[in-house]
Amino acid sequence: MADVARTWDAFMQYRFQATMLLYRDLYRCFGSYDLMRVKLNFDLGCYYNVWLDPVAKDQHLDPRAVMNELRRAPDNLTALRNFSALFQQADAALRDRGAYHEKNLGHWDDGVACLRSWIAEVGTQRKKRDINRRTEEVFNYGRTEALKLLHGEDVTSTEPWRLYQFADSLIA
């Protein structure tokens, strides 16, 4: 029983760390429409595909599924750290260019652009490769859109990354 308790504790610590990486030092993003649009879509895409989906399928109650999540935790946390740094850099770039509030009036975004085409899949039986593919889509959306804000130019020619690449650096 002690092993099970340690596993669940490690899982909850991992989820806490991941949540903190999504928001720590990133509240400044919420004052800019451009940055908030990217952050909201990224956060909701991660939430629905990575966090809600296993709960909707009761996988959070399966010790094997929890252990699988914990095995991937280091790479996932590194990717979230990298995104945090990227969003903070985009924030600084917008402020430096005086563009932080540029689109704050007259624009609206529902926050589901990067998941609209697959939101109905959440909670259904999907293969791990399909979940990973959706995570790649969310991560690539966040990276591409943040790089546009960071560089102030169109970077749509950026090649999509594979999931493992997000544990390296997001600026390359």
pLDDT in the model for residue 26: 93
Sorted by where each begins, the domain ranges of the chain are 2-167
pLDDT in the model for residue 170: 65
How many C-beta atoms lie closer than 10 Å to residue 129's C-beta? 8
Residues of the chain with pLDDT under 70: 156-157, 170-172
pLDDT in the model for residue 20: 95
pLDDT in the model for residue 73: 94
The secondary element (H helix, E strand) that includes residue 138 is: helix 128-151
Tell me the per-residue pLDDT of 102-115, one tens digit each, with 9 for 90 and over: 999 998 888 788 88
- Which candidate, 78, 102, 76, 100, places its Cα nearest to that of 150? 100
pLDDT in the model for residue 2: 83
Q: Which residues are CB-neighbours of 60 under 8 A, at least 6 positions away? A: 11, 54, 66
